[in-house]
Amino acid sequence: MKKTILLGVIAMTVLACNKTNPLLDQPNTPYGVPAFDQVKNEHYLPAFEAAIVENKAEIDAIVNNADEPTFENTIVALDRTGQLLDRVSGVFFNVLEADGNDEMNEIAETVSPMLSELSDGIILNDALFQRVKFVYDQREQLGLNPEQMRLLTETYKHFADNGANLPEDKKERLKEINQELGLLSLKFGNNVVAETNACQRFVTDESELKGLPESAKIAAAEEANAAGHPGEWLFTPKRTSFTPVLQYCENRELRKQLLMDYTTRGNHDNDNDNKAVIIREMELRIERAKLFGYDNPADYILADCMAKNHQTVDAFLQSVWAPSLKAAKREAAALQELLEQDYPGEKLQPWDWWYYAEKLRKAKYALDEEEIKPYFELDNVRKGAFGVATKLYGLQFEPLKNMPVYNKEVEVFQVKDADGSLIGILYTDYFPRAGKRPGAWMNNILPQYIDAEGVDHRPVIINVGNFNKPTAGNPSLLSMDDVETLFHEFGHALHGLLSKAHYKSLSGTNTPRDFVELPSQFMENYAYEPEVLKTYAFHYQTGEVIPDELIAKINAAGKFNQGFVTTELLSASILDMDFHELTTAEGLDVNEFEKESLQKMGMIDEIIVRYRPTFYNHIFTTGYEAGYYSYTWAAVLDADAFAAFKETGNLFEPETAKRFRHLLEQGGTRDAQELYLEFRGKEADPKNLLRRKGFIE
């Protein structure tokens, strides 16, 4: 008890010393959102220090409670700890990923081992675990409801799966492993950002850009001017920059250079090289798996997923790989014929695929993406996604002005239910910048939960992307892939926003990784449905709604190039599994391992794996290791879920929508398979995915 009092005094002292720190007080802002506009880099480290002290005091209070352990005084009390740390982390890590800088990277390197030490100190606290175990062992006699039982079992598993049952010597080694992995993850991500920012390819002769759309040339010219090269055109390894070149530019050498710039990031034997980082990460992940009695990291990681083990994942991936590769080979043959017309005797290369696929799409479907993009103005596409949520769930979205944001490009929306009650707050941040990592994602800024007084704390959610910035003459116009990405991340946002869990560790997207992509990929299905397109696809200059003939072309071409798309994705998933099925990293050569993996799966030379190892952030930074398969696993679920609506003849059929909303609201409060069966009434049929891609009739 004395220790508890002492830690409490320390916590209050630290908080008092930081009373001017905007991260440490409940912000005086609308809806309690973080005071982003007041936060400076100097505030982060003191805020983390104070939050960690407070979290330790909360844990110590549970451990030293003289009363017999109960569900309320141990399990629920544990779930309610760390609210200050959640608030500080929710601000820092979101800004770090979306608008970071060198100083923030240094802070992250300092904070990472502190957080790892705190996490390990909680998980490996034997006195705390014994209280958890005491309650868990009595679980059948406690009369818990399903959500309470889920919290108890997940809490116990979280401790057991992260080392609570290990002997002391292994616990100490686990702490060391976790701390080093945290730092390696930061280093990997920073290296990718540094490589992306450092690579600039200037074009000085406009004739080299023949075929490139005028909008892409304007964007490249503005980038060059901003970089101090007026009169030139700048291209970088950011997708918004190089993708138009790959699709449209006749200059084959430039296409090759830009694709190589993108696919060789982190693989240049310089300060940003990630090969040694990967080897060390794999050494540590293998060692950690073996501490828990697993032969490889994949089985250790998958034990708590729907798939359960690597054999199930491997078999699943192979079942989709075979028809995908077959389709990709047919597509490659068709593109080879087009290439022969320009380069007789030459072989189709990866930097040719997008260019000739675009030509073939025009020839086969009279579909030119540049003809479509004027109808996909960013604000309208976002309104279209919002409109789907309104029709499905009755949600209303209202822009909020003068809200605190970390960057002027960020926008904020209030989300209300049909009855006017608050659902949550949504931030959107869509444009690339130097401090933003590549890709698109959704995060919690603040989680949803119900406190001890019964107050439902509604979530604060963010969607982040890297879409085309507006230029002097045009607004932000999205590609078809960008449209799908916006709908995808908004699906994640809805999963977080609609949460109705009592406990924060079970709320929102706190689900198995091979289930969490279901809500996001489900939303993608709506993007190009004709009745949805007509609600948001308006020409940015004329205001004309997208014509029926153009919609018909989009849908006719819906199965086009799906062999390439799926093979590119699955090859990354298989490569991920190959890495994490390793039982030793001794003698690991990253480039050679990648080569052998691709040869083993039968990957064709004309396609480059979506993520090569040295810039594969998903598995070496963001926690998707042995988990990239989940996009395809969830695609089976999302195709089947959307079929449930299609079968009714109404994309927004109220009863089906009500059942799917219920699935979203549950978060991780119930078993994922149980939730899906409750929604659909049967197992997901994989044939719905294969039909959607055109692999079977």
What are the tens digits of pLDDT across the range 446-478? 999 999 999 999 999 999 999 999 988 899 999
Pairing outcome for strands 460-464 and 422-429:
parallel
489 is catalytic: yes
CATH number at residue 134: 1.10.1370.40
Task: Give CA angle at 623 (328, 601), nearest 5°.
Answer: 25
Residues 283 and 358 placed together within one structural domain of the fold: yes
Residues 547 and 597 placed together within one structural domain of the fold: no
241, 263, 285 — which closes off a domain?
Answer: 263
What are the tens digits of pLDDT across the range 591-625? 999 999 999 999 999 999 999 999 999 999 988 99
Helices 590-601 and 275-291 meet at what angle, rounded to 10? 70
CATH number at residue 363: 1.10.1370.10
Helices 102-123 and 168-198 meet at what angle, rounded to 10? 160
The answer to whether the beta carbons of residues 87 and 444 sit under 8 Å apart is no
Q: 538: which DSSP letter?
A: B
Rg of the chain over all Cα atoms, to the nearest angstrom: 26
Residue 570 lies inside a defined structural domain of this protein: yes
Compute how many other C-beta atoms are within 10 angstroms of the C-beta atom of residue 358.
19
Residues 352 and 476 placed together within one structural domain of the fold: no
Residues 593 and 545 placed together within one structural domain of the fold: no
Residues 205 and 124 placed together within one structural domain of the fold: no
Question: What token pair was written down for 131?
Answer: 């209280």
The answer to whether the beta carbons of residues 244 and 477 sit under 8 Å apart is no
pLDDT at position 126 is: 96
Compute how many other C-beta atoms are within 10 angstroms of the C-beta atom of residue 67.
8
- Domain range holding 587? 275-367+563-620
Residues 602 and 643 placed together within one structural domain of the fold: no
Residue 191 lies inside a defined structural domain of this protein: no
Residue 301 lies inside a defined structural domain of this protein: yes
Residue 143 to residue 49: CA distance in whole angstroms: 39
pLDDT at position 473 is: 83
Residues 30 and 126 placed together within one structural domain of the fold: yes
pLDDT at position 19 is: 57
**What's the Cα-to-Cα distance from 530 to each of 394, 484, 552, 554, rounded to whole Å?**
20, 15, 8, 9
Residue 94 lies inside a defined structural domain of this protein: yes
Residues 587 and 671 placed together within one structural domain of the fold: no
Residue 576 to residue 625: CA distance in whole angstroms: 7
Residue 507 to residue 497: CA distance in whole angstroms: 10
* CB within 8 Å of 501: residues ≥ 6 apart: 147, 448, 449, 450, 507, 508, 666, 667, 668, 669
3-state secondary structure 453-513: CCCEECCEEEEECCCCCCCCCCCCECCHHHHHHHHHHHHHHHHHHCCCCCCHHHCCCCCCH
Residue 251 to residue 211: CA distance in whole angstroms: 8
Residue 307 lies inside a defined structural domain of this protein: yes
Residue 504 to residue 557: CA distance in whole angstroms: 43
Q: 308: which DSSP letter?
A: -
The answer to whether the beta carbons of residues 75 and 409 sit under 8 Å apart is no
Residue 626 to residue 610: CA distance in whole angstroms: 16
Compute how many other C-beta atoms are within 10 angstroms of the C-beta atom of residue 440.
17
Q: 437: which DSSP letter?
A: P
With tokens 């996909």, the residue in question is 376
Residues 616 and 673 placed together within one structural domain of the fold: no
pLDDT at position 12 is: 44
Residue 559 to residue 639: CA distance in whole angstroms: 14
Q: 69: which DSSP letter?
A: P
- The predicted model scores a pTM of 0.91
| Side chain identity at residue 80, one-letter code | R
Residues 121 and 160 placed together within one structural domain of the fold: yes
Flag residues of the chain having pLDDT under 70. Answer: 1-19
Residue 170 lies inside a defined structural domain of this protein: no
Residue 448 lies inside a defined structural domain of this protein: yes
Q: 666: which DSSP letter?
A: H
Helices 310-342 and 562-580 meet at what angle, rounded to 10? 140
Given the residues 223, 411, 489, 517, select the one marked as catalytic: 489
The answer to whether the beta carbons of residues 164 and 134 sit under 8 Å apart is no
Residues 610 and 655 placed together within one structural domain of the fold: no
**What's the Cα-to-Cα distance from 296 to each of 214, 279, 300, 324, rounded to whole Å?**
51, 15, 7, 28
Comparing C-alpha atoms, which of 679, 668, 584 is closest to residue 305?
Answer: 668
Q: How many distinct structural domains can be found in the chain?
A: 4
Q: How does 285-295 read in b/e, with b if 16+ C-beta sit within 10 Å?
A: bbbbbbbbebe
Residues 248 and 379 placed together within one structural domain of the fold: no
Residue 177 lies inside a defined structural domain of this protein: no
Comparing C-alpha atoms, which of 468, 449, 514 is closest to residue 220?
Answer: 468
Pairing outcome for strands 441-446 and 449-450:
unpaired
263, 283, 317 — which closes off a domain?
Answer: 263
**What's the Cα-to-Cα distance from 172 to each of 158, 611, 660, rounded to whole Å?**
18, 34, 44
pLDDT at position 1 is: 35
Q: How far does CA 238 lie from the centroid of its chain?
A: 17
